[in-house]
């Protein structure tokens, strides 16, 4: 007997995991109570829903390796340097980019500015919105001082309507705001649920590839609720950028978490102003904070993506209020922070057993490389001993389990950035310093360190 397929599925609104049964706790992301019921997508109906017809016939046939012409994979500069940087050096025609972020963070603003820039360069753009009316977008554009004439706005959530307009206008860039408001008429589920989002993304991906159009889709990050978050479609797109920002900060970080065409962890830095998003030329200035360096701080020279940055690491130690001391860390991997506190305890003899410890990076930056280790340990040491850090010194080094300082990648770039930001000394592993012998350093002094013992001697203790 033929198996009858169930017509509803359950999916996790947080990560998009699917299951035929309701689950209290998602087996994918571990979140509780995030499962929602949704009608299953009916793929049989999709065949004539527009998805298949956009790819020219010759592209569907296999071609011999030798005959394939190397794609003139020319990147197109978007005109927004920080965005180009996050994309890995500009937009790639035929690629599908997802921009995720919390509602209100500035996704629509950024992409409206992007389309205006491209139009200024003679390209045509189609901005599709399922969220706002076109009058609202025009109003926003005018507030931003934009009046592009080859920018076409379409208020629609229908995939079929969008495909028809894309065919008519043949734009160089299509913006879909947002994927959670799009629906494929052939799929019987509500916009915003996992199945519908995947169907639409698959069609946009095909559209991008077959017409060599760059397609940007916006996805709102949702914690709870009936609509799924952008995680559901991350695996289907070429590039995933997340737009992040701290509550009261005006600064926004655009971070590449996946990129088929460039490095990940690349970040672009923006500031939200009354004239929209402005690019920040010298992000180190934001991440270094203001004023004199206090006890419990250290400056780290890190590399995020391909960009050298200086960031102030702040640590606070306070007598533990409970038997179990608290460890709180923002901006750095929690487990790494706990490991560093254990190393500091063992190798430097710090008594942390009865201390609550907090670690924070200034300006809402998140660092994913271990070159921050040394500065984190120094900030903790400085906080616990109440000793001010050496003046004008930045640090870069990974800390090993026996307290040894290990080398970091691309030390010259860190030296250059530290020097540019006015630092007088940079502490690195002895190996890094030996390698830099003879290099032009712009007047900054290098301090070679073998282990944490040598590092704390810099405090004069």
Q: For binding to ligand TYD (CB under 6 A), which residues are involved?
A: 101, 103-109, 140, 143-144, 272, 274-276
**Contact range with Mg ion by CB under 5 A, out of 106-114, 122-130, 297-305, 429-437:** 106-114
Residue 109 contact partner, candidates ligand TYD, Mg ion, none, CB within 5 to 8 A by sort of partner? ligand TYD
**Of 144 and 339, which CB lies nearer to ligand TYD in the complex structure?**
144
- Record the tokens describing residue 317, joined without a space: 């130690």
**Of 245 and 363, which CB lies nearer to ligand TYD in the complex structure?**
245
Q: Are strands 35-39 and 125-129 parallel, antiparallel or unpaired?
A: unpaired
The answer to whether residue 108 forms part of the interface with Mg ion (CB under 5 A) is: yes
Residue 63 contact partner, candidates Mg ion, ligand TYD, none, CB within 5 to 8 A by sort of partner? none
Q: Alpha-carbon torsion 230, 235, 236, 237, what sign?
A: positive
Least CB distance from residue 172 to ligand TYD, whole Å? 22
**Of 144 and 458, which CB lies nearer to ligand TYD in the complex structure?**
144
Least CB distance from residue 144 to ligand TYD, whole Å? 6
Residue with structure tokens 């926003």? Answer: 140
Least CB distance from residue 182 to ligand TYD, whole Å? 15
Compute how many residues bind Mg ion; rule: CB under 5 A. Answer: 1
Least CB distance from residue 276 to ligand TYD, whole Å? 4
The answer to whether residue 129 forms part of the interface with Mg ion (CB under 5 A) is: no
Least CB distance from residue 233 to ligand TYD, whole Å? 17
Contact between residue 381 and residue 456 where contact means Cβ atoms under 8 Å apart: yes
Q: Which of 315, 317, 376 is nearest to 343 (CA)?
A: 376
- Record the tokens describing residue 20, joined without a space: 């035929």
**Of 101 and 268, which CB lies nearer to ligand TYD in the complex structure?**
101
**Of 51 and 276, which CB lies nearer to ligand TYD in the complex structure?**
276
**Of 220 and 416, which CB lies nearer to ligand TYD in the complex structure?**
220
Least CB distance from residue 101 to ligand TYD, whole Å? 6
CA 176, CA 91: separation in Å to the nearest integer? 16
The answer to whether residue 109 forms part of the interface with Mg ion (CB under 5 A) is: no
Contact between residue 315 and residue 380 where contact means Cβ atoms under 8 Å apart: yes
Least CB distance from residue 273 to ligand TYD, whole Å? 6
The answer to whether residue 180 forms part of the interface with Mg ion (CB under 5 A) is: no
The answer to whether residue 181 forms part of the interface with Mg ion (CB under 5 A) is: no
**Contact range with Mg ion by CB under 5 A, out of 32-40, 103-111, 283-291, 419-427:** 103-111
**Of 107 and 307, which CB lies nearer to ligand TYD in the complex structure?**
107
Q: Which residue is nearest to Mg ion (CB)?
A: 108
Residue 278 contact partner, candidates ligand TYD, Mg ion, none, CB within 5 to 8 A by sort of partner? none
Least CB distance from residue 112 to ligand TYD, whole Å? 8
Q: Which residues bind Mg ion (CB under 5 A)?
A: 108
């Amino acid at each position: 007997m033929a198996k009858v397929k169930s017509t509803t599925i359950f999916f996790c609104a947080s990560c998009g995991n699917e299951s035929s049964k309701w689950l209290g706790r998602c087996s994918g992301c571990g979140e509780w109570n995030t499962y929602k019921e949704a009608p299953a997508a009916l793929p049989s109906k999709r065949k004539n829903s527009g998805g298949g017809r956009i790819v020219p016939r010759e592209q569907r046939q296999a071609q011999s390796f030798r005959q394939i012409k190397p794609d003139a994979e020319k990147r197109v500069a978007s005109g927004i340097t920080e965005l180009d940087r996050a994309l890995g050096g500009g937009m790639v025609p035929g690629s599908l980019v997802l921009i995720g972020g919390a509602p209100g963070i500035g996704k629509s603003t950024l992409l409206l500015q992007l389309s205006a820039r491209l139009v200024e360069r003679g390209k045509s753009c189609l901005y599709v919105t399922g969220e706002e009316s076109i009058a609202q977008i025009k109003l926003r554009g005018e507030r931003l001082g934009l009046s592009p004439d080859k920018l076409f706005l379409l208020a629609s959530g229908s995939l079929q309507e969008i495909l028809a307009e894309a065919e008519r206008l043949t734009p160089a860039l299509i913006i879909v705001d947002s994927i959670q408001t799009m629906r494929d008429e052939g799929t019987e589920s509500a916009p915003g649920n996992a199945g519908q989002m995947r169907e639409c993304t698959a069609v946009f991906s095909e559209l991008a590839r077959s017409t060599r159009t760059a397609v940007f889709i916006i996805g709102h990050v949702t914690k709870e609720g009936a609509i799924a978050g952008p995680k559901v479609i991350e695996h289907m797109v070429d590039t995933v950028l997340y737009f992040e920002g701290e509550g009261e900060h005006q600064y926004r970080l655009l971070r590449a978490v996946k990129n088929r065409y460039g490095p990940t962890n690349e970040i672009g830095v923006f500031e939200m102003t009354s004239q929209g998003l402005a690019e920040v030329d010298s992000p180190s200035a934001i991440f270094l904070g203001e004023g004199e360096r206090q006890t419990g701080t250290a400056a780290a020279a890190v590399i995020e993506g391909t960009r050298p940055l200086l960031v102030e690491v702040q640590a606070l130690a306070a007598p533990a209020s409970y038997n179990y001391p608290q460890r709180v860390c923002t901006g750095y991997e929690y487990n790494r922070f706990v490991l560093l506190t254990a190393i500091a305890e063992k190798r430097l003899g710090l008594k942390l057993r009865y201390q609550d410890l907090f670690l924070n990076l200034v300006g809402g930056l998140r660092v994913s490389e271990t070159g921050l280790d040394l500065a984190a340990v120094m900030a903790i040491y400085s906080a616990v001993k109440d000793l001010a850090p050496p003046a004008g010194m930045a640090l870069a080094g990974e800390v090993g389990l026996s307290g040894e300082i290990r080398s970091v990648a691309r030390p010259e770039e860190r030296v250059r950035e530290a020097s540019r930001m006015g630092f007088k000394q940079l502490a690195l592993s002895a190996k890094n310093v030996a390698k830099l012998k003879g290099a032009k350093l712009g007047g900054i002094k290098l301090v070679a360190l073998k282990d944490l013992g040598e590092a704390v001697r810099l405090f004069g203790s």
